[in-house]
Structure 1
Amino acid sequence: MKQAFFITGTDTGIGKTFVACQLIRQYVAQGYRVVGMKPIAAGCDLVDGQWVNEDVKLLMQASNVDAPLHWVNPYCFKAPIAPHIAAQQENIAIQLEVILQAYQALTELADIVVVEGAGGLLVPLHAELTIAELAAALNIPIIFVVGMRLGCINHALLSLEVMQARHLPIQGWVANPIDPAMQCYAENLATLQQHFKGIPQLQC
């Protein structure tokens, strides 16, 4: 079995890493060789002489494939800011080909590769590249995470329009309850279910 998934969502801090790790663990439990990948990470700590992002650490801990850090996370920026700004500050050009080569290398090591994006779909990586274009270049099924909080409907439906307009393959979506105090949770969820009709809602 060879499979891959691209995890994206409505925003940053809405549970993409949580969903990615849950997916990895589920496949590991079924006996597959699984590895997580986060092509671009911003906000890193120096660990044993290497800059490592917390999300990347979690992905690697969930994986059961020992892969080089530079394949799992080709671009790691120190400041926790938008990737294209972080890249400019460090005078680094994010290259799509570098990411695709790292992804291809991971597919040789694992049965399943779970790729986590940065922020939302239209986060720029440089002037001519967004997360959506990275997802299109990888051409793997998307799992879309909705961070359930006030404002999520707008973010989710705008993202859905982007995915549909660009013919990105949507495997499923997850409603992740990140705000325990969210009012009218059931009503918000029902609205999303109506608009995502025909796209499986996944449980993590």
Structure 2
Amino acid sequence: MQHFWVVGTDTDVGKTVITTLLMRQLQKHDLQVMPYKPVQTGEVYENGYYFYNDTAMYEKYSLQRLKQENLNGYSFKEAASPHFAAQLEGQQIDVGHLLQQIQLLQQANDVVICEGAGGLFVPLDTYGENTLLDVIVQSKLPVVLVTRTTLGTINHTLLTLEALHARNVEVLGIVFNGDTGSQMERDNVKMILQYHDLPYATIPKLQDISHIIDYSISHTSLFERLFKYETSIN
């Protein structure tokens, strides 16, 4: 069985959207897929209910029934870096607990997609001893990198790839998210791929998140890589 992370160059690059999209695409191929958010922050109150956008999106758009207790390790109310959000509630994030959960989920599912929080160097504790990247390294799982297509993405993407390579983390491919089709965006994508010849998918800027159910990446080199990777292991 093979599993992977979805990580981003920064916060709000669309990691949850891409995690959900990849989940649905793999589920369509009769694979038991479990999305997992080790740490989520920012509780939302809407229509009399409290919820977290990340795990709520998994549940809403999954083609398979998901066990809610398996979707998340820690949830904190404040929309902030995990270490600070945990501190506000007098809690500490136990990295060992997260890694144990990931291991258990791997044993029970064909594919586990772990979604990161923020960028690679987001701290998980007050003293900065553990970052998201440290957890990724310890999990020994490869990653799919989500990045923007807009101004600044070349620098952010190349720095993130350098950090992953420095820690010997395998990169399965890149998702360029939120593309509007401008000449600059096309050049940004081209330039990044000149530096790193990786499988990729370019996702247009969706007018509404619900449009995710109609979008397919099955024709992309990234999905071909993922699907071959999963079936070859299974």
In the superposition, the TM-score normalised over structure 1's length comes to 0.89
CA-to-aligned-CA distance 1:43-98 (integer Å, 9 cap, x gap): 01369xx96311111123344253242x3211100011111111111111101111
Structure 1 93/51 Cα, relative in aligned 2: closer, same or farther at 3 Å? farther
> 1:193 is matched by which residue type in structure 2?
L
Unaligned residue ranges in structure 1 (runs of 5+) = none
> 1:142 is matched by which residue type in structure 2?
V
CA shift, 1:129, in A, is: 0.7
> 2:22 is matched by which residue type in structure 1?
L
> 2:104 is matched by which residue type in structure 1?
A
CA shift, 1:182, in A, is: 6.0
Match of 1:162 in 2: 163
Unaligned residue ranges in structure 2 (runs of 5+) = 203-216, 218-234
Structure having the larger proportion of residues in strand:
1
Q: Is the 8 A contact 1:8 1:144 kept in 2?
A: yes
Structure 1 29/35 Cα, relative in aligned 2: closer, same or farther at 3 Å? same
Q: Distance in 1 between matches of 2:193 and 2:91?
A: 41
Q: Does 1:92 align with 2:85?
A: no
Match of 2:137 in 1: 136
Q: Does 1:122 align with 2:111?
A: no
CA shift, 1:115, in A, is: 0.6
In the superposition, the TM-score normalised over structure 2's length comes to 0.78
CA shift, 1:136, in A, is: 0.6
CA shift, 1:109, in A, is: 2.5
Q: Distance in 2 between matches of 1:88 and 1:149?
A: 34
Aligned length: 199
> 1:76 is matched by which residue type in structure 2?
S
CA-to-aligned-CA distance 1:112-137 (integer Å, 9 cap, x gap): 11110001111111121111111111
Q: RMSD across aligned C-alpha pairs, in angstroms?
A: 2.1
Match of 2:184 in 1: 184
Structure 1 183/44 Cα, relative in aligned 2: closer, same or farther at 3 Å? farther
Q: Does 1:80 align with 2:82?
A: no
Moved over 6 A (4+): none
Q: Distance in 2 between matches of 1:173 and 1:25?
A: 18
Q: Is the 8 A contact 1:35 1:65 kept in 2?
A: no
